[in-house]
Structure 1
Amino acid sequence: MNQQNSTGSPSDDQDLGATSEAHTSTNPGTPSATQATASPTLAEPFHAHKQSHTLRWVVIGVVIVLVLLAIRHFSSETSPAAGPGIPAGGKKAGNGRGQQGPAAITVGQSTAGNMNIYVDTLGTVTPTNTVTIYSQITGRVMEVRYHEGEIVHRGDPLIEIDPRPYQANLTQAEGTLQHDEGVLAEAKIDLARYQAAFAKNAIARQQLEDQEQIVVQEEGTVKADQGTVAYDQVQLAYCHITAPISGRVGLRLVDPGNTVFAGSGSTLLVITQLQPITVVFNVSEDNLPQVQEQLRGRKQLQVDIFDRSNDKQLETGKLTSLNNQIDTTTGTVKFRASFNNNDLQLFPNQFVNARLLVSSLPNATLVPSAAVQHNGTAAFVYTVNSGANNGHTVAVHPVTVVTNDDTSTAVQGLDPGVTVATSGFDRLENNVSVAVSSPHQGTPTSSKPLSGNPAP
């Protein structure tokens, strides 16, 4: 009974088909009849779509597997060609920074020698003397005898002011002096007569004494006239302005025909002394004990002056003085050094770099400045060691920098005669293999053994 219901008989199928056709023909717009007829047809596209989606993922998986196999295949082919000692990943151990082949470097040698200890600072060129000239009299400018920016010497004429009024005053004063000198001479003659007459008791003593005082009065008058003459001579000299020092004059500030006034404060010209000249620079209070120790020994400390870019040396001179107090705002002390400035390389108010030689360090270990590297505040060098098969490796060696100059650096913690790397630092690490090349050649070599550090 159950089996017949599950499988169905042909007669039942025919009855159901007839019933369905009858129902469809009777009620063509009924939804239930349409769904019953179409359900077998919709199932077929759903199963086809599911099979297509599954096939797509299978294809993607196969492609990924093929790509991974290809990468592994090419990696295994590249490793043997790179040389022995390279792992399956293709990177040779000890070549540095993930690159193949030894790192190409140039090298230098640590040596023993003397190194000067300097204090580097900034300075300003300051003239020894700067003279600002004003007019001390009132008058019209007759002539300007200097050219702008020229070098003048002490006593050279610079400006001429109309001297006629002052010459007239001087002449008048000299005339008054001459008159009073005559009156004085006459009084002295009378005094001599009175003295002779008094000796013979021809005149009274009172008359003699009066004549003596007249002579004294005339002498005072003559002295006052002499002062007037001297004053007028000075006023007349002010009409001829000359250079009080040797130096360079600035731009012209007054032209002929202008009237200048005494005590007006109008500048006529400025003269700046250039030879010798000084440089004022600030030194940190931390370096002051070293400098004072040298000055107490009455040593003259050398000062080198370089240009603004610190590339060209301009002058060499001596430290002459230092200030008597520390600037609390900067923690520095002002120093002054003097220079001959024979070639006029130093110009007033010029910004320069000063280098004060404090002392000399004997028998120091010197390395090329390019070899010293820094990791934060710590300094180190890469020492080059000779390895097996005439190969070379580098090792990180910490050092302490004492001082340095343009080309060399004095260090502690390193012996003389050690070979150090001077370039190629971007690929260097501890125990990295290197190929040493000459600084003047681009072809590296790793077959020539290096003097200095034997392999451990």
Structure 2
Amino acid sequence: MPSHKIRRTLISVSLTLFSMIIVGSMAYWLWPDSSTPTPATAPAVPVTAVEIGRRDVPILIHSIGNVRSVRSVDIRPQVDGLLLELPVNEGQYVKKGDLLARIDDRGIVAALERAKAQQSVAQAQLASAQRDLRRYRTLANTQAVSAQTLDQQNGLVAQLEASVKSERATVSATQVQLSHTRIHAPADGRIGILNRHEGNFVRANDAQALFSIVQLDPISIEFSLPQARLPQLQALMANADKSSMILRVYSGDGGTLLGEGPLDLIDNRVSDATGTVRVKGTVANPLGHLWPDQSVVINLQAGTLLNALVVPQRALRQGAKNPFVWHVRDGKAFPQPVQVTYSDTNIAVVEGIQTGDLVVTDGYSRLRPGSVVNLLEARDAAVTPVASRSTP
């Protein structure tokens, strides 16, 4: 055999032996050690769960509304004159009938005295003419005076009677003008910012009011709801028992409760522009927490679901078709479809599970049907009773 063929054969055999050694070494190091245990099942998933209970659940309608004063009055002068006195201060609470302002009345008092004097003159003239008329009637019976003279006297008496009525009306009008020089509170309320001060000359046609008075207690709440709510609202208003129809006012979502009261009125029309209907209620406001034109969050209690089956809102999961909860049975979690009949931001009223069932509220992202779970201490207090169980 030629020498070059011998070398080629030796090289090929060497490469084959080298490859076999490399493959054997890798197989030795990569082959699993029979002494290393292989896990038979997946580890338990730690979850937090609650035990489902029943309770009465108020049905709430949520909305954004505004505070409105039951009565708001702009105090304006009704006569021209010098503003002599403002016996009230900004921010002061006043009662109905309290003196708010006094305008110089000297000119009107003089005009009233003149009108009264003219009325007295007219009354004296009428009295004299009536006495003459009685004499003329007596003389006319004996034909001592002509019928023409008697008719003239009757006309004079009628003229003076009209003059007396005119002067009396002038006195009454002047008295009304005089009453406008003293401005009294038309209702209980709080004084706003003063726009005029003592010493200013005010006119009846001034565009700006002296100040305003707003009633703060009780106070109104106005808000709008979709027209689809109209039948529900009408049913509420028709219900003789108003105790379950409670309007609660909050400073914001999850904010402080500012007041509560009954629903009073549904507006007489639906807005064409927005498709909503305005609703009005009255709330007690003794501490002044609610302020006119303030924006507030409103919860209207439209009824109560008695003995309802309740789950925390975060226990609900949305499936491809229906919502479901993770139901824990015998230490394992299984998806359980439910029907939601009512829900809010915290809880949901459901059907499809039973009282006492255990549902997962946290840790469900790692769950699969049949997953073994390790129940941690429950941290949810929205549902009563709350379970605090653990599996060994």
User: What range describes the TM-score normalised by the shorter chain of this pair?
Assistant: 0.7 to 0.9
| Aligned twin of 2:13 | none
Contact 1:373–1:380 (Cα < 8 Å) also in 2: yes
Could you tell me whether the CA contact under 8 Å between 1:250 and 1:269 is conserved in 2? yes
* Structure 1 counterpart of 2:278, one-letter code: K
Alignment of 1:108-147 (within 5 A): 108-147=50-89
Q: Distance in 1 between matches of 2:64 and 2:222?
A: 9
Cα offsets for 1:282-317 (capped at 9, x unmatched): 111222222233445556443222222333222222
- Matched residue, 2:192: 250
Shift of 1:356: 2.1
- Tell me by how many angstroms 1:237 deviates: 1.5
**Structure-2 change in CA distance of 1:444 and 1:272 (3 Å):** same
The match for 1:149 among 81, 88, 91 is 91
User: Residues 393 and 432 of structure 1 are in contact (CA less than 8 Å); yes or no, is this contact kept in structure 2?
Assistant: yes
Superposed, 1:205-216 pairs within 5 Å as: 205-216=147-158
Which residue of structure 1 aligns with residue 213 of structure 2?
A: 271
Partner letter of residue 402 of structure 1?
T
Measured after TM superposition, the shift of residue 168 of structure 1 is 1.3
- Relative to structure 1, the CA distance from residue 371 to residue 218 in structure 2 (aligned partners, 3 Å threshold; closer, same or farther) is same
* Counterpart contact for 1:104–1:444, Cα < 8 Å: no
Q: Check the 8 A contact 1:103/1:428 in 2, yes or no.
A: no
Distance 1:278 1:362 in 2: 30
Shift of 1:379: 3.0
Per the alignment, do residues 260 and 352 of structure 1 end up closer, same or farther by CA in structure 2, a change over 3 Å counting? same
What is the TM-score with the length of structure 1 in the denominator? 0.71
> Structure 1 residues 179 and 357, CA, compared in 2 at 3 Å: closer, same or farther?
same
1:319 aligned to 252, 263, 278, which one?
A: 263
Matched residue SS, 1:422: strand
The structure-2 alpha-carbon separation of the partners of 1:233 and 1:76, relative to structure 1 and needing over 3 Å to count, comes to: farther
Instruction: Determine if contact 1:310/1:353 at 8 Å carries over to the other structure.
Output: no
Provide the secondary structure at the position in 2 that maps to 1:146.
Answer: coil
Please give the alpha-carbon distance, in whole angstroms, between the structure 1 residues aligned to 2:339 and 2:355: 14
- The 1:444–1:295 alpha-carbon spacing in structure 2 relative to 1, beyond 3 Å, is closer
Distance (whole Å) between structure 2 residues aligned to residue 250 and residue 155 of structure 1: 17
Q: Any idea what SS the aligned residue of 1:309 has?
A: coil
Give me the whole-angstrom Cα distance separating, in 2, the residues matched to 1:299 and 1:213. Answer: 70
Say if 1:280 and 1:337, in contact at 8 Å, map to a contact too. yes
Structure 1: how far apart are the matches of 2:229 and 2:322? 22
In the alignment, is residue 413 of structure 1 matched against residue 352 of structure 2? yes
Whole-Å separation in 2 of the counterparts to 1:76 and 1:186:
142
Is 1:303 aligned with 2:284?
Answer: no
Deviations 1:156-199 (Å, cap 9, x if unpaired)? Answer: 11121111111111111111112212212222222233333334
**In 1, Cα distance between the equivalents of 2:160 and 2:321?**
89
1:445–1:302 distance in 2 versus 1, CA, 3 Å: closer
Structure 1 residues 307 and 429 mapped into 2: Cα distance closer, same or farther (>3 Å)? farther
Percent of aligned pairs with the same amino acid = 29
Distance 1:295 1:377, change over 3 A: farther
Out of 350, 359, 362, the residue aligned to residue 306 of structure 2 is 362
8 A contact 1:279–1:336 mirrored in 2:
yes
Hey, what does 2:277 align to over in structure 1?
Answer: 333
Q: 1:291 aligns with which of 224, 228, 233?
A: 233
- Contact 2:129/2:153 (8 A) holds in 1: yes
Cα separation, partners in 2 of 1:257 and 1:306, compared to 1, 3 Å: same
Alignment match, 2:385 = none
| Cα contact 2:309–2:355 (8 A) shared by 1 | yes
Secondary structure in 2 aligned to 1:124?
A: strand
Pair 1:251–1:65, CA change in 2 (3 A): farther
CA contact (8 A) 2:227 2:275 kept: yes
Question: C-alpha separation between the residues in 2 aligned to 1:415 and 1:280?
Answer: 41
Deviating more after overlay: 122-131 vs 323-332: 323-332
Q: CA deviation at 1:338?
A: 2.0
Matches for 1:64-75 after TM superposition, within 5 Å:
69=30
Quote the Cα distance in structure 2 between the aligned partners of 1:218 and 1:376: 97
Q: 1:307 to 1:65 in 2, by over 3 A?
A: farther
Match for 2:334 among 383, 395, 415?
Answer: 395
1:446 aligns with 2:391: yes
Matches within 5 A, 1:57-96: 69=30, 86-87=39-40, 92-93=41-42, 95=43
Q: Which has the higher strand share?
A: 2
Q: Deviations over 1:22-52 (max 9, x none)?
A: xxxxxxxxxxxxxxxxxxxxxxxxxxxxxxx
* 2:105 pairs with one of 163, 184, 190: 163
Report deviation, 1:103: 0.5
* 1:103 matches 2:40: no
Paired AA for residue 46 in structure 2: A
Question: Does the 8 Å CA contact 1:275/1:340 hold for their aligned counterparts?
Answer: yes
Residue 122 of structure 1: how far off its partner (Å)? 1.0
Instruction: Choose the corresponding residue for 1:188, options 126, 130, 144.
Output: 130
* C-alpha distance in structure 2 between counterparts of 1:171 and 1:401, whole Å: 81
Match of 1:137, SS state, is coil
Deviation, 1:365, is 1.7
Instruction: Give the SS at the match of 1:235.
Output: helix
CA deviation string 1:346-395 (max 9, x = no partner)? 21111111222223333432223343344588532222212xxxxx1222
Instruction: Give the secondary structure class of the aligned counterpart of 2:269.
Output: coil
Q: Match of 1:323, SS? A: strand
Match of 2:162 in 1: 220
Structure 2: gaps spanning 5 or more residues: 1-18, 381-387
* C-alpha distance 208-248 of structure 1, shift in aligned 2 (>3 A): same
Structure 1: give runs of 5+ residues left out of the alignment.
Answer: 1-57, 81-85, 96-100, 387-391, 448-456
User: Counterpart in 1 of 2:173?
Assistant: 231
